[in-house]
Chain A
Amino acid sequence: GAGVSQSPSNKVTEKGKDVELRCDPISGHTALYWYRQRLGQGLEFLIYFQGNSAPDKSGLPSDRFSAERTGESVSTLTIQRTQQEDSAVYLCASSLAQRILTDTQYFGPGTRLTVL
């Protein structure tokens, strides 16, 4: 079946512009995660959606970052007034979230964001 997809694959923008990144999770996966990966570093957790529960936004680095999810489908991550330090690969993952001990996250290919 189809995996997690993300669009665009690459985005170049100018400092101060807003950007919107999209994630299509695996069908039937109730949980959706956004991570950020700066060059040469590990992944940083940004935000988590689980069904109809309030999202866990504790990883968002500033109020310029926000995310939405429509039901158990598509999610968009929006970055307002982009800064050069926002340049990174933004990765989305989804999971069934049925058993916390064995739940595996499946990752998309990421969106590479470059802020000039």
Chain B
Amino acid sequence: KQEVTQIPAALSVPEGENLVLNCSFTDSAIYNLQWFRQDPGKGLTSLLLIQSSQREQTSGRLNASLDKSSGRSTLYIAASQPGDSATYLCAVKTSGSRLTFGEGTQLTVNP
């Protein structure tokens, strides 16, 4: 059974800092890995999707890496802003029908 773990559970940083969120998964037979953002009272927004054959993806200030063999991914956020405050969820796809999610990292960026 696939299990996804995210560390840390919560993180509070001052504006402008670079930060790293961690995700690990137990079964390396994945199709892809996604990072989502969740704002209170709203649904999830997909940030980055890394296919199983890829090592990283970048979008603006976000960079996600994937080491499938070791079951790890990191989300790097550069020059953090208060608007980045949200819960960040990591999810892996191991079949056509489902994503397995971690419990998330709650990020607070203080002005």
A interface residues (Cβ-Cβ under 8 A, vs B): 3-4, 33, 35, 40-45, 48, 50, 56, 59, 91, 93, 97, 100-110
Chain B contact residue count (CB 8 A cutoff): 27
How many A-B contacts at CB < 8 Å in the complex?
63
CB nearest neighbor in A for B102: A42
Instruction: Assess the A91–B31 pair: CB atoms within 8 A.
Output: no
Q: Provide a sorted-by-A list of 17 A–B residue pairs whose CB atoms are within 8 angstroms.
A: A4-B43, A33-B97, A40-B103, A42-B89, A42-B101, A42-B103, A42-B104, A56-B98, A100-B93, A101-B52, A104-B46, A105-B46, A105-B99, A106-B46, A108-B43, A109-B42, A109-B43
With contacts A33-B98, A104-B46 known, what are 16 further pairs, Cβ within 8 A? A4-B43, A33-B97, A41-B103, A42-B4, A42-B101, A42-B104, A43-B101, A45-B98, A48-B97, A56-B97, A102-B51, A104-B34, A105-B99, A107-B45, A108-B43, A109-B42
**Chain A at the B interface: SS class:** loop
**Chain B at the A interface: SS class:** strand
Q: How far is the CA of A78 from the CA of B46 in the complex (A)?
A: 27
